[in-house]
Amino acid sequence: MLKQHNDVLEAVIDNRLKDAFQLLSKLLVHVNSSEIHNKDQSLVDTYRSMLKYSFGLAPDPERTGIYQRLKQSILELSDEIRDFWISSMNLFDRKSMYEQISHFESSNAGDPGQITIMLSGNNDATEGVASPETNQNLQDLLVNQLFYFFWLKNKFSNEDLSLFSQIVECADIDWSIKSLMVSAMTLSQLRHFDSEKFIVLFNLSQVDDPEIRQRAMIGMFLVLLSYQKRISLYPKLTERLKSISDDKLFQERMLAILIQFIRASETEKITRQIQEEIVPEVLKIRSELEDKLKLDELLSKETFEDKNPEWENFFKDSPDVYQKLEQFSKMQIEGSDVFMGAFAMLKHFSFFKELCNWFVPFRTHNQTVRKTFEEFKEDIDMPAFIEGLEHSTVLCNSDKYSFILNIQHMPSQQRKMMLELFNMELKAMNEMMEDEFKLNGEIRNKIVNTQYLQDVYRFFKLHPFRKEYDSIFDMKIDVLDSDVLKLVYENVQIIRNLAEFYFARDRYHEALRLFEWLNVKEKSFELLEKMGFCYQKTGDFRNAIELYRQAELFDRNKVWLKKKLGFCYRRTGEFEKAIEYYRQVIKSDSKDLSNLAYLGQLYMDIENFDEALKYYYKVEYANPENLKVYRPIGWCSFVQGKYETAIKYFDKVLKEKPNKSDFLNIGHCYWASGQIERALNAYREAVNHSGNDEHWFRDSFLKDKKYLKFNNIDDLDIDLMMDYVLLIE
């Protein structure tokens, strides 16, 4: 059903309305509603009439508008069929939810004023009759019913819109309730498209309260992302979006949301890194000789993988206060969701059985919060702690509830220690954030973005009802390929900031696409360098060279650029050009031993071992204690037939931390110099150090075959030696 629903959308977007109607007819098989079938037939008849007028009768000046509205109607009917099927199958517990809505409508029909009074807590009718707790329970029940009411409304009537407006505009209603209604509106639009819902979110994105405004803007963004193709069919909506280009602050806030969404999309990767406690490394394609001699250990990893230190740190998204925190806290505050793994298993409490509680802001007056802490007997200022937790930027709202619901099950002493420790952290964090808020008015917006998107992420990844929605956080974002997203983000400064963000996150494919767009608008040597670096990091060394060469026209004496060109030429097998660039590098920077070592490695690539030795000896002379340079010196000496020298250097390696290749290498030296018994012992040690990996031994031995033959050892002896080592003790 869901795939067929998407197929209808694609057909309509591609102007294949005949195909769309055929797809609808297949969907209608699951529907026993005469009303829906009649709507379908009416749309078919309208299209037939339009076709006849287009080619058989007088042209209709309203044809374009009719065609556009017809496409909208087809998609709306497709949505209606989908929702009818979900309800009839009682998927996602729809029947019980509709019962709640029915109860709400019958209890509050035609009285929005009474609803706002109850939500504001100023209910005179029950004052002095019902207890405060009863009033709170009634208010909580009403909030829940309103959430489901707005969430499950397919189309908003004027009365519905009026009720929603009165709630969000009422000064006496707490912002947390308003925020919850905005979440309901967002989920409703993502579930069932309605242009009026989008207008509501757009209007709310202009209000002053950051809690309301940022949630509405995030809702707007999620709708734009989910309905990129569909929104283009609604001129009223695209006109509103075009107005964003005239509002610089609005654009910057939308960019901040996009960036935070990208961070949220990386949550699974971050969680995996934390759980496995590993730091991913870029895999390099290395030659077997390079690996066996550990040549990479001679070189600084920064030599080829480093970004240009001269590049400006263009994207400055982190306030200064974040620099004072430890990296774990810094990642969290910047928006990386470091706690998803820890809290994913703490959503089993009954509190989370209410869907709206996945989006409810953490508040000190929340009944769940208050009741939980009333049970604690620890000697700690609980009201101050709860208030500190509410204002904390460390956890999202959903995880704050998980935290307090979980600690109530801890032993008293353990709970007290945790609360005291957490309280100290909260105080320090909140004090710093207060200072930051005074200096930067947009920080509050970023905090709301971070926490709310993490709440949204938990719903879309953990809640059973998430399957009703497309996987939003897995959607591909290409602001240059989307007519709708371009209306919001197509601005040189915005694109530059986004490109720099991707670049800083090592997301080179996305960064490259944006840099290429920028390069057409404003050519610069820095853009050329960064584009070249993106190509290099994605393994396209030919294009990297092309861009680096263009950048070289601006500054031929830049050492960083020469290193990159040398590296890329080596990866394309153009060793002579690589050597040429690295000889220039050494002229400019002769003290960097990594440059000398890399030039030695390049000469080994072309089997010029005499030249390679010159540079390795220079490295040894500058740093005699450098064990890592002994391996390539030993190997070059062996290939040249200088066995004593080779054995001397390999022997130094064996006295420190030898590996299986070290024993293999010295074995070759012993054999070539006629010391058969020593060679056999060395080869057997190589096999032992490999964990008796015969495949590795034979494969490595055969790869060294040409060097053994070069030292007057024939093919038959090589084959016999391998069997001798492996068969005879």
What does the domain layout of the chain look like in residue ranges? 2-89, 94-173, 326-436
Region 243-265: mean pLDDT is: 94
pTM of this structure: 0.85
pLDDT at 274 over 90: no
pLDDT band at 275 (very low <50, low <70, confident <90, very high): low
Least confident residue range of 35-49, 464-478, 505-519: 464-478
Which of 55-69, 324-338, 512-526 shows the lowest mean pLDDT across its residues?
A: 324-338
Please determine, for residue 408, whether its predicted confidence score (pLDDT) is greater than 90. Answer: no
In 3D space, the residue among 721, 628, 611 whose CA is nearest the CA of residue 668 turns out to be 721
| Gap between the Cα atoms of 716 and 713, Å rounded | 9
Q: At what angle do helices 660-672 and 676-689 cross, to 10 degrees?
A: 170
Q: Which residues contact 400 (CB under 8 A, 6 or more apart)?
A: 362, 389, 390, 392
Instruction: Kindly indicate the confidence band of residue 135, based on its pLDDT and cuts at 50, 70 and 90.
Output: confident
The confidence score (pLDDT) of residue 543 equals 98
> Which residues make Cβ contacts (< 8 Å) with residue 203, sequence separation at least 6?
none
Query: 18-55, pLDDT tens digit by residue?
Result: 999 999 999 998 899 999 999 999 999 999 988 888 87
Q: Nearest 5°: CA angle at 261, between 256 and 267?
A: 135
Q: How far apart are CA 516 and CA 480, in angstroms?
A: 11
pLDDT for the residue 707 = 94
Contact 80, 1 (CB under 8 A): no
More confident residue, 548 or 414: 548
Distance, in Å, from the CA atom of 412 to the CA atom of 438, rounded to the nearest integer, reads 38
pLDDT above 90 (res 709): yes
pLDDT digits (tens, 9 = 90+) for 168-190: 999 999 999 999 999 999 999 99
CA distance 681 to 15: 77
pLDDT category, 392, cuts 50, 70, 90? confident
Position 498 pLDDT exceeds 80: yes
With tokens 């949301």, the residue in question is 257
Measured over the CA atoms of residue 124, residue 126, residue 130 and residue 134, the dihedral's sign is negative
Half-sphere exposure for 261 (CA within 13 Å, toward CB): 25
State the alpha helices, DSSP H only, in 346-490.
367-374, 382-391, 397-407, 412-439, 443-462, 483-489
d(CA 653, CA 673): 19
Q: What is the mean pLDDT of residues 192-199?
A: 96
Which pLDDT value is given to residue 174?
94
Q: Counting runs of H as helices and runs of E as strands, what totals does the chain give? A: 40, 0
Instruction: Provide the pLDDT for residue 95.
Output: 86
307: confidence class by pLDDT, cuts 50, 70, 90: confident
**Helix, strand or coil, per DSSP, at residue 718:** helix
pLDDT, average across residues 507-536: 95
- pLDDT for the residue 130: 63
Q: Taking residues 97-119, report their average pLDDT.
A: 82
Quickly state the pLDDT bin for 331 (edges 50, 70, 90): low
Residue in the block written with tokens 């209007």:
203
User: Has residue 429 got a pLDDT over 90?
Assistant: no
CA 100 – CA 184 distance, rounded (Å):
15
Indicate if the pLDDT at residue 77 is higher than 60.
yes
| Residue 554: per-residue pLDDT | 87
The confidence score (pLDDT) of residue 295 equals 67
**Nearest C-alpha neighbor of 81 from the set 35, 44, 46:** 35
Asked if pLDDT for residue 328 goes beyond 70, the answer is: no
Among the ranges 113-122, 127-136, 493-502, which has the highest mean pLDDT value?
493-502
pLDDT tens digits for 541-598? 999 999 999 999 988 778 999 999 999 999 999 999 999 999 999 998 888 899 999 9
pLDDT exceeds 80 at position 291: no
CA angle 54, 60, 61 (to 5 degrees): 130
Report the mean per-residue pLDDT for the chain.
87
For residues 678 and 685, what is the distance between their CA atoms, to the nearest angstrom? 11
Element (H, E) at 160: helix 158-169
CB 19 within 8 A of CB 12: no
Q: Which of 591, 592, 593, 567 is nearest to 579 (CA)?
A: 567
Does residue 303 carry a pLDDT above 90? Answer: no
Say which residues have a Cβ less than 8 Å from residue 442's Cβ, sequence separation at least 6. Answer: 252, 253, 256
The CA-atom distances, in angstroms, between 99 and each of 80, 458, 678 are 19, 26, 87
Rounded distance between C-alpha atoms, residue 153 and residue 633, angstroms: 76
pLDDT at res. 284: 35
Residue 132 confidence class, pLDDT cut points 50, 70, 90: confident
Q: Which pLDDT score, from 0 to 100, does residue 90 have?
A: 86
Residue predicted with more confidence, 631 or 101:
631
Q: State in Å, rounded, how far the first CA of the chain is from the last one.
A: 69
Q: What percent of the chain has pLDDT above 70? A: 87
Nearest 5°: CA angle at 658, between 657 and 662? 150
Closest CA to 640 of 677, 614, 663: 614
What H or E segment, with its residue span, contains residue 249? Answer: helix 248-265
Q: What's the rounded mean pLDDT across residues 488-517?
A: 95
Burial 403-430 (b: 16+ CB within 10 A, else e): bbbbbeeeeeeebbeebeebbeebeebb
360 Rama class: left (phi>0) / alpha (psi -120 to 50) / beta:
beta
pLDDT digits (tens, 9 = 90+) for 649-696: 999 999 988 999 999 999 999 999 999 999 999 999 999 999 999 999
- pLDDT at residue 321 is higher than 50: no
Q: What percent of the chain has pLDDT over 90?
A: 62
Q: Is the pLDDT of residue 213 over 60?
A: yes
Higher pLDDT, 191 or 373: 191
